[in-house]
Amino acid sequence: MCGYLIGVSLPLSPSFDLPLAFLVLLATLAAVRGLKQPKRPSSLAVIPALGFVMARLLSSMMTPHDLRSFQLLAPFLPALLLFFVLSEWVETQHQIIVIYVSLTVTGFVLATTLLIVSWVSNTADADAWARAIPSPMLVVKNDITVVAVLAPLALAVVSLRPRRLVLLIVLGFFASLITVIVLVQSRTALLTLVVAIVCFMALVGRKKLAHHRHLPLLLLGSIVAIAFVVDAVLGFRFVHKAMHDWQGHGRLALWAAALAMFHNAPLLGHGPNSYVLHYGTYLDALHLPAWIRTDSRVTPWAHNLYLELLAEQGFVGLVSFLALGGVGLSMLTQIIRSRHHDTRCLGAGVGAAFLAFLTAAFFELSFIRVWVTIILFTLFGLLSTMSRTEKRGIL
């Protein structure tokens, strides 16, 4: 799992998914050899996970035959494999910490790669920097949001294992993340990062951070300081964008089109990844007022995961996603109530990341991007295994 999570962040050729081949091979060998292979799923979290996948399969029948493709469901192969390995085979605190460290390294590699590409690039277009990286995790500049989602995992690791190497990795993670957020001017990533840290602080609590109570506040202060310095060097472009582009490149219009699509196909929607095919027609028919900005560029997603699900998968798709999120939050509540400090801290890490993911879904996320599916099922799998082991008194 760690090899896959780090490998998928590396700028490798997307024509052959070597990290996925590595993951499938080792998981197959483990299953054949019977390495801790459960006879049946021991976690009920498998029900909403498979329910969400089945809802996507069902809504895919609404996609025109000539547009149906395995690519629509391809991200679910690594996502489900990661989920089942996490929810059924991972049992010890050490294993969970190693996965947290791997995800922190993943975020550091992604942010650093984008910084390097921006340094050597001949263009100032941040989206062009992302497209120049042959990685499924970075397609547009706002994909840096994935690193912001992972921030609480880094905080949990450094809170439990404040060793020199871990501190260096976490400091590099946050420094590269904040710098690249300001550089690409991603307000969604910045908001997600702040939500992630605040949620971690709230879930851990003041008493539970007795030995490191100043760390979250120090990080929040560092975020503001680094962001201000970097933006000042760049001529305060980030501040100017935040003040003048409050509609976010026409998000209101995109949301209105998604609602119109849902109204036309309320049960199963128009099919996965179909938003880009229909939103223009619905947008033209709405005759929106002049004060609502529309972007002339083609936009493949609705910049709101919930509305995108309504438009593409209808009521069934949204309910299946909300059920998955509800079960995840229910498991988080159980983990946070644990009597063990380490368990609560690890739970706060993945719980804050899960909440940050659900928050970012209001402004940016889309299942058209591979990492959204992978990170969702990875976080859900971590919540599942921690809930399962907490009930058994293992963790």
Residue 36 lies in a domain: no
Of the chain, the percentage scoring pLDDT greater than 90 comes to: 32
> Would 261 be classed as within a structural domain?
no
Q: Which of 54-68, 205-219, 254-268 has the lowest mean pLDDT?
A: 205-219
- Digit-coded pLDDT (tens) for 130-159: 888 877 788 888 889 999 999 999 999 998
pLDDT confidence of residue 339: 83
The answer to whether position 34 is within a domain reads: no
**332-356 average pLDDT score:** 92
pTM: 0.88
Closest among 23, 136, 39, 16 to 81, alpha carbons compared: 23
For residue 193, the enclosing domain spans 44-60+75-249+298-392
Query: Is there a domain that residue 12 lies in?
Result: no
How many domains, in total, are found in the chain? 1
**Residues belonging to the chain:** 395
pLDDT 10s digits, 57-111: 888 877 665 555 556 677 888 898 899 888 888 888 899 999 999 999 999 999 9
| DSSP three-state, residue 206 | coil
Burial class (CB in 10 A: 0-12, 13-18, 19+), 369: buried
pLDDT for res 14: 58
Q: Which pLDDT score is estimated for 217?
A: 64
For residue 347, tell me if it sits in a domain.
yes
pLDDT band at 321 (very low <50, low <70, confident <90, very high): very high
> Are residues 53 and 80 in contact, defined by beta-carbon separation less than 8 angstroms?
yes
Residue 67 included in any domain: no
Is 181 a domain residue? yes
pLDDT at position 70: 56
% of the chain exceeding 70 in pLDDT: 81
What's the rounded Cα separation, in Å, for the pair 278 and 265? Answer: 12
Residue 392: other Cβ atoms inside 10 A: 9
pLDDT at 246 over 50: no
pLDDT tens digits, residue range 160-196? 888 889 999 999 999 899 888 888 888 888 889 989 9
Q: Alpha-carbon distance 126 to 229, whole Å?
A: 19
| Residue 37 covered by a domain | no
How does 282-298 read in b/e, with b if 16+ C-beta sit within 10 Å? bbeeeeeeeeeebeeee
Give the pLDDT mean for 369-389: 91
The mean of the pLDDT values for the chain is: 82
The average pLDDT across 296-320 equals 90
